[in-house]
């Protein structure tokens, strides 16, 4: 689905967890693999026994219920440019950077495991202020930043990250967060901080079109965000605390279709997490890309879905051609696929900042059945926990995380009527002569060597 998140185009939106088991452990202890396994096993056993992994929300507004991991969290904001692409900046403020005229500016947020810091944590207001300088790094545009008014009532809410905290020693897997249509990089700051506290370096930049601050709902816009994702992966490789051999992309909404395009083109991406990603709703755009083939993808995919009616899909304003094409999830047969249907979540409830800006009236308009605010908090937290275990299983190859994913929701302590899960294991890929593409670096079975023009092959005879 597409939901505008920029300061100039806030669109139609239907929006919607802190484990209460153990306090934050000293981060050095988490480096002990045996001790970590014991802790996680005990936590999961306790959570199943108690019937819930999370404490109940005590308020009617958004509250992130995810429990912090063993690491404190740091945040850096790096103003950088992609010199290979042009970008026509808005007329207000200077349009020329110190590195050249109209190059693509990418305000990059980096959340990372850190040492304990005496600095104060980021607040919602601190995050909102970052939108002042998304395009013109040295010319704040406070009046054009509608996030200030939308999040005003939550400005003093503290999150976890401390600006410029000293990084923890070691190298950590890389996560790229791809935001929704036209949205800010920090729309899911709670989620990004959560992953960093468990030993990931998370990078994000705003969702923008080819040459406009607002995303364009077409192939050009998708390709622009896909290139931003690859740009961030390359930049992550220059950081001293990253392990670029382990990379995943986490996305929501329109960022989902962009991350699909990026993963089809960038072999450095090892896993995908989609939160109600647009690739499900716009298969026509996937087909028209020409080089994006879900049926050939071999990386694991975690896809969170929601209940949406055929009537709603028919009555949206999306061109019919964008919606006609093979179903991406049905085509995903050569990579592990874990589909988690969040039964009570509306589309915007996959974003913490969208939930914070939502009025009571808007919540009522988008409410799913009788799932209330507290249910939205609980659902969001389970999304965070399942995503963390998916990443730990496929990037860190943790046995306990794989075991978690194999259990039923009830066995993991999920309340009834919150989610349904379906797992499809990757099928062994078989190649045909019409699928051999010369110039690509793929292992070719011996029986297919005759498919390659100019190649003569005779099996060796062994006496």
Task: Kindly state whether residue 280 falls inside one of the protein's structural domains.
Answer: yes
Q: Would you state the structure tokens that stand for residue 311, as one six-digit string?
A: 């009537």
Single out the residue of 317, 410, 297, 196 nearest to residue 188, CA to CA: 196
Q: Would you state the structure tokens that stand for residue 116, as one six-digit string?
A: 């304990």
First-to-last alpha carbon distance for the chain, in angstroms, is 63
Per-residue pLDDT at 60 exceeds 90:
no
Task: Kindly state whether residue 408 falls inside one of the protein's structural domains.
Answer: yes
**CA–CA separation, 449 vs 463, rounded Å?**
23
Per-residue pLDDT at 423 exceeds 50:
yes
Lowest mean pLDDT among 228-237, 290-299, 329-338, 425-434: 425-434
Within 13 Å, how many C-alpha atoms sit on residue 117's CB side?
Answer: 22
Expressed as residue numbers, the domain containing 155 is 27-451
This prediction's pTM? 0.81
Task: Kindly state whether residue 17 falls inside one of the protein's structural domains.
Answer: no
Per-residue pLDDT at 201 exceeds 90:
yes
The pLDDT tens digits for 226-238 are 999 999 999 999 9
Non-local CB neighbours of 45 within 8 Å, separated by 6+ positions: none
Residue with tokens 């995810």, as numbered in its chain: 66
Our count of domains for the chain comes to 1
Per-residue pLDDT at 34 exceeds 90:
no
**CA–CA separation, 115 vs 26, rounded Å?**
10
pLDDT, averaged across the chain: 83
Non-local CB neighbours of 414 within 8 Å, separated by 6+ positions: 53, 382
Task: Kindly state whether residue 3 falls inside one of the protein's structural domains.
Answer: no
Single out the residue of 432, 427, 423 nearest to residue 450, CA to CA: 432
**CA–CA separation, 70 vs 78, rounded Å?**
25
**CA–CA separation, 103 vs 211, rounded Å?**
9
**CA–CA separation, 164 vs 185, rounded Å?**
18
**CA–CA separation, 70 vs 88, rounded Å?**
43
Non-local CB neighbours of 25 within 8 Å, separated by 6+ positions: 39, 70
Cα-trace Rg, the chain: 22
CA distances from 37 to 29, 134, 323, 384, 393 (A): 11, 41, 45, 20, 13
Q: Give the model's confidence band at 95: pLDDT under 50 very low, under 70 low, under 90 confident, else very high.
A: very low
Are the C-beta atoms of 285 and 318 separated by less than 8 Å?
no
Give the model's pLDDT for residue 32.
52
The pLDDT tens digits for 128-181 are 999 999 988 888 888 889 999 999 999 999 999 999 999 999 999 999 999 999
Task: Kindly state whether residue 463 falls inside one of the protein's structural domains.
Answer: no
Lowest mean pLDDT among 50-59, 112-121, 343-352, 364-373: 50-59
Per-residue pLDDT at 421 exceeds 90:
yes
Percent of the chain's residues with pLDDT above 70: 77
Give the model's pLDDT for residue 51.
42
Strand-pair category, 172-178 with 271-275: unpaired
Per-residue pLDDT at 381 exceeds 70:
yes
**Across the chain, how many H-helices and E-strands are there?**
15, 13
Non-local CB neighbours of 337 within 8 Å, separated by 6+ positions: 300, 301, 303, 329, 423, 424, 426
Task: Kindly state whether residue 125 falls inside one of the protein's structural domains.
Answer: yes
Rounded to 10 degrees, what is the CA torsion of 139, 144, 146, 149?
80
Task: Kindly state whether residue 332 falls inside one of the protein's structural domains.
Answer: yes
Are the C-beta atoms of 42 and 375 separated by less than 8 Å?
no
Q: Would you state the structure tokens that stand for residue 180, as one six-digit string?
A: 């929704």
Lowest mean pLDDT among 276-280, 390-394, 458-462: 458-462
Task: Kindly state whether residue 5 falls inside one of the protein's structural domains.
Answer: no
Q: Would you state the structure tokens that stand for residue 68, as one six-digit string?
A: 């912090």
**What 3-state class would DSSP assign to 24?**
coil
State the CATH number of the domain containing residue 446.
3.40.50.1820
The pLDDT tens digits for 330-372 are 999 999 999 999 999 999 999 999 999 998 999 999 999 999 9
Give the model's pLDDT for residue 19.
34
CA distances from 378 to 272, 282, 375, 448 (A): 23, 29, 5, 51
**CA–CA separation, 270 vs 255, rounded Å?**
17
**CA–CA separation, 258 vs 209, rounded Å?**
11
């Amino acid at each position: 689905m597409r939901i505008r998140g920029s300061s100039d185009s806030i669109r139609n939106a239907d929006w919607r967890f802190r484990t209460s088991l153990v306090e934050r452990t000293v981060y050095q202890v988490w480096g002990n693999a045996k001790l970590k396994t014991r802790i996680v096993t005990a936590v999961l056993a306790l959570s199943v026994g108690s019937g819930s992994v999370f404490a109940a929300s005590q308020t009617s507004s958004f509250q992130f219920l995810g429990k912090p991991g063993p690491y404190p969290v740091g945040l850096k904001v790096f103003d950088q440019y992609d010199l290979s692409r042009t970008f026509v900046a808005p007329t207000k403020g200077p349009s020329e950077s110190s590195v050249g005229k109209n190059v693509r500016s990418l305000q990059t947020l980096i959340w990372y495991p850190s040492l304990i810091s005496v600095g104060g944590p980021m607040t919602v207001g601190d995050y909102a202020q970052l939108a002042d300088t998304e395009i013109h790094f040295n010319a704040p545009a406070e009046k054009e930043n509608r996030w200030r008014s939308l999040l005003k009532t939550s400005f003093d809410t503290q999150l976890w990250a401390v600006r410029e905290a000293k990084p923890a020693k070691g190298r950590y897997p890389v996560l790229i967060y791809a935001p929704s249509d036209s949205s800010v990089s920090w729309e899911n700051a709670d989620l990004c901080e959560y992953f960093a506290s468990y030993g990931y370096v998370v990078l994000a930049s705003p969702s923008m079109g080819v040459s406009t601050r607002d995303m364009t709902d077409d192939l050009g816009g998708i390709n622009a965000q896909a290139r931003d994702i690859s740009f961030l992966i390359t930049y992550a490789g220059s950081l001293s605390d990253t392990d670029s051999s382990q990379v995943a992309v986490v996305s929501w909404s329109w960022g989902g279709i962009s991350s699909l395009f990026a993963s089809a083109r960038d072999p450095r991406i090892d896993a995908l997490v989609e939160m109600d990603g647009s690739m499900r709703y716009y298969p026509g755009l996937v087909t028209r890309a020409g080089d994006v083939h879900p049926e050939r993808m071999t990386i694991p995919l975690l896809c969170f879905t929601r209940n949406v009616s055929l009537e709603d899909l028919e009555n949206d304003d999306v061109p019919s051609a964008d919606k006609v094409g093979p179903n991406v999830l049905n085509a995903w047969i050569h990579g592990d696929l874990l589909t988690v249907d969040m039964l009570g979540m509306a589309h915007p409830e996959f974003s913490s900042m969208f939930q914070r800006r939502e009025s009571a009236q808007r919540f009522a308009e988008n409410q799913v059945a009788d799932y209330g605010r507290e249910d939205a908090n609980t659902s969001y937290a389970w999304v965070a926990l399942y995503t963390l275990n998916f990443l730990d299983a496929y990037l860190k190859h943790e046995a306990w995380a794989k075991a978690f994913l194999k259990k039923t929701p009830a066995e993991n302590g999920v309340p009834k009527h919150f989610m349904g899960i379906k797992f499809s294991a990757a099928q062994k890929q078989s190649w045909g002569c019409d699928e051999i593409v010369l110039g690509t670096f793929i292992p070719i079975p011996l029986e297919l060597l005759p498919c390659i023009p100019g190649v003569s092959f005779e099996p060796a005879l062994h006496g």
